[in-house]
Amino acid sequence: MSYRAGDRLPEIVKDPIAKVQLVMYAGASGDFNLIHFDDETARSRGLKGVIAHGMLSMAFLGQLTDSAFGAGRTRRLEVNFRGMVNLGDVITLRGAVDEVREERGRALAVCSIEAVNQEGGVVTSGQAEAWMD
């Protein structure tokens, strides 16, 4: 797909975060910190309940760039974790093309990306670069 500076990436709305998803992500990532799937442990650490892995929201943003540009075209993905993702949160992934430049004879899109919860709070933001050809 071809984009120009200022173009928005097609948004993706994820299903509500479920505990089984967090347990599966723990297995895939190897991050078995109990705050991600045990309410008692999470509350003992001052949380409202279990929270999603930060890297899960980063993976969601990788899905956004793969969806917009095609699998394997993402060259760089860099994020900042800005808020917690709780069980039941509905995360919307969105982004925009900031710049398109030529690099090594190929078109490269530089994008601002973010994951936003159902209340409009940005939980993860960053930048992605993806090849367009």
The tens digit of pLDDT for each residue in 3-30 reads 999 999 999 999 999 999 999 999 999 9
Amino acid at 85: V
Domain layout of the chain by residue ranges:
12-131
The tens digit of pLDDT for each residue in 82-127 reads 999 999 999 999 999 999 999 999 999 999 999 999 999 999 999 9
- Tokens representing residue 100 in the block: 């398109």
pLDDT at 91: 98
* CATH C-level class of 12-131: alpha beta
- Entry pTM: 0.93
Which of 24, 31, 22 lies closest to 85, judged by CA?
22
pLDDT at 25: 92
Q: What sign results for the dihedral spanned by CA atoms 51, 54, 55, 56?
A: positive
